[in-house]
Amino acid sequence: MIDVYIVGIGQTNAGEHWDRSLRDLGVDAMLAALQDAGVGQVETLYVGNMLAGELVAQAQLGALLADWSGLGCIEAIRAEAADASGAAALRMGYLAVASGASDLVLACGVEKTTDADSESVDQAWSSGMDGEYETSQGLSMPAVGGLLMRRYMHEHGVGREAFAPFAVNAHANGANNPYAMFQRPISIEAYAHSGMVADPVGMFDVAPLCDGAAAVVLCAADRARELAAKPVRVRASAVATDRVALHSRTDPLSLQAAHLSALKAYAQAGVGPHDIDLFELHDSFSVMAALSLEACGFAERGHGTDLGLDGEIGLQGRIPISTMGGLKARGHPLGATGIYQVVELAQQLRGEAGANQLDCRLGMAQSLAGSGATAITHILEA
């Protein structure tokens, strides 16, 4: 397979965009990425989006965004993998370049949640679970987080406070990210006293759904050297799935898809967890951050929370996570999130992360769908 490089990145602020529609946001991010890459046209567009059909009654997003952004009659298709749709679009773009099928690809993740009321958005978000036997029972996504968090607390003998560092770290980093939805640090006290969403998941345990769009331009090595001063190499791209319903898993606290996806990615890149300088993980819930760290080999089972308590997840720690705010503070614009993670990795690897800048060479991004039934992992190199 041909080596794939990121030569342009773009993102809108993540948050509430009352004055911008789904297509407006998509175009904003796409034009920003094209400008960053210094190109005016691409051959292929992949759009990652989860809920446009449910919330804004819009399908055929590939053609719509190609049309609305002035890209013309190019190949354009939407990729969907629930919360991991953005990463799915990146995966398709990666394959298009790596296979030689396309020389210049744009992958854009976009989501518009604020055109609908929050109860409807919650219901739509739960379509990433098993509709027949989970959602139909009144299970919401935050309740899935609650089931996992309660079981984790029971099996591993920890209290809610063990999860506070994930929220505190995310907000501390988000404070220095001008694109983040929340740019305000929070305290451990605030975490402890937060209201419950789905006990024991509190307000600071669940990432905020919002609007947003992010995009990357991909090409092969020759073109990358022409276009970019600091092309970012995609060292690995790997997808794995698991049984969709949490109740179908043999061990609900083991994120099997995340584990397999990470193993495949490590093998592709010829690296191990110890080589990873930063990890943009899927902190849709604080417990998912702990479980992701365990699934990807950064902590033993039941000890993901220790990494938070020991300060290892901070910018000075052994495995910095959510370095630009993560899903918790930057925001979780569902289908766009997977691209935001990769844009933020690219910022770090290009030295453009500002106050949160790490000295880094190899970064990993992992996007999870629903309660973890699809995991899409990318490893990027400076």
Could you tell me the smallest distance in angstroms from the CB atom of residue 199 to other proteins?
4
Own/partner pairs for 250-256, CB < 8 Å, 24+ apart?
Answer: 252/147, 252/148, 252/151, 253/148, 253/151, 253/152, 253/155, 253/291, 253/301, 254/291, 254/294, 254/295, 254/301, 255/288, 255/291, 255/292, 255/294, 255/295, 255/368, 255/372, 255/375, 256/295, 256/372
Q: Which of 93, 142, 308, 326 binds other proteins (CB under 8 A)?
A: 142
DSSP 285: B
Could you tell me the smallest distance in angstroms from the CB atom of residue 291 to other proteins?
14
For residue 222, the tally of other CB atoms under 10 A from its CB is 11
Q: Is 54 exposed, middle or buried (0-12, 13-18, 19+ CB in 10 A)?
A: middle
Answer yes or no whether residue 147 interacts with other proteins by CB under 8 A: yes
Say how many CA atoms lie within 13 Å of 241 toward its Cβ: 7
Q: Where do we find the tokens 């991991």?
A: 84
Q: Hey, which residues between 210 and 249 contact other proteins (CB under 8 A)?
A: 243, 245-248
Closest CA to 214 of 38, 333, 58, 98: 333
Q: Hey, which residues between 188 and 207 contact other proteins (CB under 8 A)?
A: 195-201
Could you tell me the smallest distance in angstroms from the CB atom of residue 257 to other proteins?
15
Q: Where do we find the tokens 């003998």?
A: 157
Answer yes or no whether residue 140 interacts with other proteins by CB under 8 A: yes
Report the residue number, 130 or 312, with the smaller CB distance to other proteins.
130
Distance CA 250, CA 265 (A): 23
Q: Which of 14, 29, 76, 148 binds other proteins (CB under 8 A)?
A: 148
Answer yes or no whether residue 301 interacts with other proteins by CB under 8 A: no
Answer yes or no whether residue 133 interacts with other proteins by CB under 8 A: yes
8 Å CB contact between 318 and 68: no
Q: Which of 21, 58, 60, 123 binds other proteins (CB under 8 A)?
A: 123
Q: Which of 101, 136, 192, 267 binds other proteins (CB under 8 A)?
A: 136
The amino acid sitting at 143 is: A
Report the residue number, 134 or 280, with the smaller CB distance to other proteins.
134
Closest CA to 196 of 151, 155, 160: 160
Could you tell me the smallest distance in angstroms from the CB atom of residue 141 to other proteins?
8
Could you tell me the smallest distance in angstroms from the CB atom of residue 41 to other proteins?
42
Q: Which of 19, 119, 189, 359 binds other proteins (CB under 8 A)?
A: 119
Answer yes or no whether residue 254 interacts with other proteins by CB under 8 A: no
Q: Hey, which residues between 314 and 343 contact other proteins (CB under 8 A)?
A: none
Report the residue number, 178 or 195, with the smaller CB distance to other proteins.
195
- Choose the binding region for other proteins from 20-28, 33-41, 113-121, 336-344 (rule: CB under 8 A): 113-121
Q: Which of 18, 57, 73, 138 binds other proteins (CB under 8 A)?
A: 138
Report the residue number, 122 or 310, with the smaller CB distance to other proteins.
122
Answer yes or no whether residue 126 interacts with other proteins by CB under 8 A: yes
Could you tell me the smallest distance in angstroms from the CB atom of residue 190 to other proteins?
18
How far from the centroid of its chain's Cα atoms is residue 199's Cα?
24
Closest CA to 303 of 285, 289, 321, 317: 289
What does the binding site for other proteins look like in residue numbers (CB under 8 A)? 117-120, 122-123, 125-126, 130, 132-134, 136-140, 142-151, 154, 195-201, 243, 245-248, 252
